[in-house]
């Protein structure tokens, strides 16, 4: 019975991570020629994931000793995926604002 609960939690965690990565890709899609679009989108996804992982490790490194906690790998992966999605959405909103106000560089 306990093993089923662990598997269920793991399945829910994996669904959460997959949903966050989907949002990251969705909000990182760029326009233009197909080859340029693919490279720009992949670059955007990489940057968001890099920022997400880096921010999580930075926060853990700063707070782990003070608050005496030990996050699991799954927690770290969930936090990093959520932050990557947050960075992708915030970048999308920022670029949309720049386009609407005519400040977007060409």
Q: How far apart are CA 37 and CA 31, in angstroms?
A: 6
Contact 12, 43 (CB under 8 A): no
Per-residue pLDDT, 90: 96
- Specify the pLDDT at position 33: 86
Given this model, what pLDDT does residue 4 score? 59
CB within 8 Å of 68: residues ≥ 6 apart: none
Count how many residues are written for the chain.
Answer: 106
Radius of gyration of the chain (CA): 17
Torsion of CA 89, 92, 94, 97, to 10 degrees: -130
Per-residue pLDDT of the chain (106 residues; tens, 9 = 90+): 445 566 667 899 999 999 999 999 999 998 878 888 999 999 999 999 999 999 999 999 999 999 998 999 999 999 999 999 999 999 999 999 999 999 988 7
pLDDT at position 6 is 61
């Amino acid at each position: 019975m306990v093993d089923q609960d662990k598997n269920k939690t793991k399945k829910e965690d994996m669904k959460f991570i997959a949903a966050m990565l989907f949002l990251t890709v969705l909000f990182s899609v760029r326009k233009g020629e197909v080859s340029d679009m693919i490279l720009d989108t992949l670059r955007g996804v990489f940057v968001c994931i890099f920022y997400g992982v880096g921010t999580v490790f930075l926060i853990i490194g700063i707070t782990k000793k003070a608050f005496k906690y030990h996050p699991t790998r799954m927690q770290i992966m969930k936090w990093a995926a959520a932050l990557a999605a947050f960075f992708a959405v915030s970048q999308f909103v920022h670029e949309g604002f720049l386009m609407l106000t005519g400040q977007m560089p060409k």
